[in-house]
Structure 1
Amino acid sequence: MSKYSIESFVNETKENPLERDYFELEKPALLEINLNNQAVWTKTGSMVGYIGNINFERQGMLSGGLGNLLKKAISGEGAKLMKAEGTGKLYVADDGKKVRILHLNNETVCVNGNDVLAHEQSIKSDITMLKSIAGVMSGGLFQVKLSGTGHIAITTHGEPLTLLVTPDAPVFTDPNATVAWSGNLSPELKTNVSFKSLIGRGSGEEFQMKFSGNGWVLIQPYEEVYRVEK
């Protein structure tokens, strides 16, 4: 049999039936979620396929009452989650970004809103916002605080790097390249650029996120810029 035959291609790329974990990394950029009469939250628009009897319910991530003004300010699918419920295999992905699965054990992590791919229903999600206008100009307008016990899946452009934060060594990052950080950290926005010069710009080099204390920050080798609707 030729290594380029259709049969060889199917054998090489087919789903592994032995993998039965609730959250399973089927491919580096493809998450398999094995549902057994369960519900899971996934990024809206991330479903690429499923097997079985699964129902989908689209709902705004910000439907918890932060106000219509905020809802209008956030564009793109990153502002919304989709509830998938039933029994079967669900496959989700996000523009070819690499997927990382984390299991929280009564822990908390903060994730850039656009980098949340999925989380168990047992995980509580809260929207947190940077209070400075710089957060809006970078497009990194909102972050999601995920807490509790259960699986979450986040996405990164390329291979991420974790930087350790210690009291004597704070970490500074570009907001557009910052993916996630430990839940005990509260980033500050640091800039030496006047407010006027920020208008109409979105480069992270003009300001940084400062992390102080004890913890970690996950960055990616890519500046992800998000559009802000007018």
Structure 2
Amino acid sequence: MNKYSIEQFIKQTEQVDKGEGFFELETPRILEVNLDGLVWAKAGSMVSYEGKIKFEREGILEHGLSAMFKKALTSEGTSLMKANGQGKLYLADSGKKIIILHLQNEAIYVNGNDLLAFEPSIKHDIKLMRKVAGMMAGGLFNVRCEGTGLVAITAHYEPLTLRVTPGKPVITDPNATVAWSGNLQPEIQTDISFKTFIGRGSGESIQMRFEGEGFVIVQPYEEVYMQAQS
């Protein structure tokens, strides 16, 4: 068979059921959801589906007035949609690598721009870091996911997980920070001398400091957050 024929291309790239369950990595950058009910997903992340699936944007009052207030302050990256029905749903986000995590009565914080999908059994709450709201475009927000179930997050290129241990804090660039364990509460610090050293007006001068015991996931890429469009 000609290695460049259409038939060969289809054979190499076609969808194959792996029998992995609700979430399945069809490729490292495309998530297959074997849907029979409901899944939460990042708004705009659907690339294809088959079956009978209805999509609905998260209602602004769905989680109460406090959530509505927080959503008004954060960027479009927090927008979620509900996909309800039966079939196969394919999700992706700007070609980013997808990581599936099975929480077992655990919690994880995910950068609002890096949360792709999660099961309805997972409780989610938007957290806004007010200290940096005026320092970075769109502020800095994250989503706390808690409970038992599957969560899919995304990262540009290969993620790196750093362990945080007592007495050995980890400092990260907020734009490169993907997620961290639910028991950690990062402090925001600024380093004016570092800002001067690198000759930039923002970015690395704002840092996240993690202390205690847990982990932080970073990516070799700095995301740029845009203000929400009215």
- Mark yes or no: TM-score above 0.5: yes
1:217 aligns with 2:182: no
Amino acid at match of 2:19: E
Say which is worse superposed, 62-71 or 5-14, in terms of deviation. 62-71
Distance 1:30 1:72 in 2: 30
Alignment of 1:94-109 (within 5 A): 94-109=93-108
Q: Is the 8 A contact 2:132 2:188 kept in 1?
A: no
Following the alignment from structure 2 to structure 1, what is the Cα–Cα distance between the partners of residues 30 and 61?
25
Q: Deviations over 1:151-194 (max 9, x none)?
A: 00000001000000011210000000000000000000011449
CA distance in 2, matches of 1:97, 1:26: 14
- Is contact 1:134-1:189 (8 Å) kept? no
Query: Does the residue aligned with 1:8 lie in a helix, a strand or coil?
Result: helix
Which one is further off, 124-133 or 174-183?
Answer: 124-133
The 5 A counterparts of 1:1-230 are 1-36=1-36, 38-60=37-59, 63-64=62-63, 65-66=65-66, 70-76=70-76, 78-133=77-132, 136-137=135-136, 139-193=138-192, 203-229=202-228
The code of the aligned residue for 2:94 comes to D
- The structural deviation recorded for 1:139 is 4.0
Equivalent-residue separation in structure 1 for 2:69 and 2:85 (angstroms):
34
Distance 1:130 1:34, change over 3 A: same
Q: Is the 8 A contact 1:100 1:154 kept in 2?
A: yes
- Describe the shift of the 1:158–1:219 C-alpha distance in structure 2 as closer, same or farther (beyond 3 A): same
Q: Offset at 1:21?
A: 1.2
Q: Aligned partners of 1:135, 1:213: CA distance in 2, in Å?
A: 27
Q: Distance in 2 between matches of 1:24 and 1:61?
A: 30
Query: Which AA in structure 2 matches 1:142?
Result: F
Q: What CA distance in whole angstroms lies between the structure 1 residues aligned with 2:191 and 2:5?
A: 59
Percent same amino acid among aligned pairs? 57
Counterpart residue type for residue 89 of structure 2: L
Supply the RMSD in Å over aligned alpha carbons.
2.3
Contact 2:116-2:152 within 8 A present in 1 as well: yes
Report the TM-score when normalising by structure 1: 0.89
1-side partners of 2:159 and 2:175: how far apart?
13
CA distance in 1, matches of 2:201, 2:25: 33
Structure-1 separation of matches of 2:61 and 2:211? 28
- C-alpha displacement of 1:67: 6.5
Q: 1:66 to 1:193 in 2, by over 3 A?
A: farther
One-letter amino acid matched to 2:73: A
- Tell me by how many angstroms 1:33 deviates: 0.3
Q: Which runs of 4+ in 1 moved over 6 A?
A: none
Structure 1: runs of 5+ lacking an equivalent: none
Assess, with a 3 A threshold, how the Cα gap between structure 1 residues 184 and 68 changes in structure 2: closer, same or farther: closer
The secondary structure found in structure 1 opposite 2:130 is coil
Identify unmatched segments of 5+ residues in structure 2: none
Question: Once the two structures are superposed, what CA deviation does each residue of 1:21-51 show, in whole Å capped at 9, x if it has no partner?
Answer: 1000000110000012x10000000000011
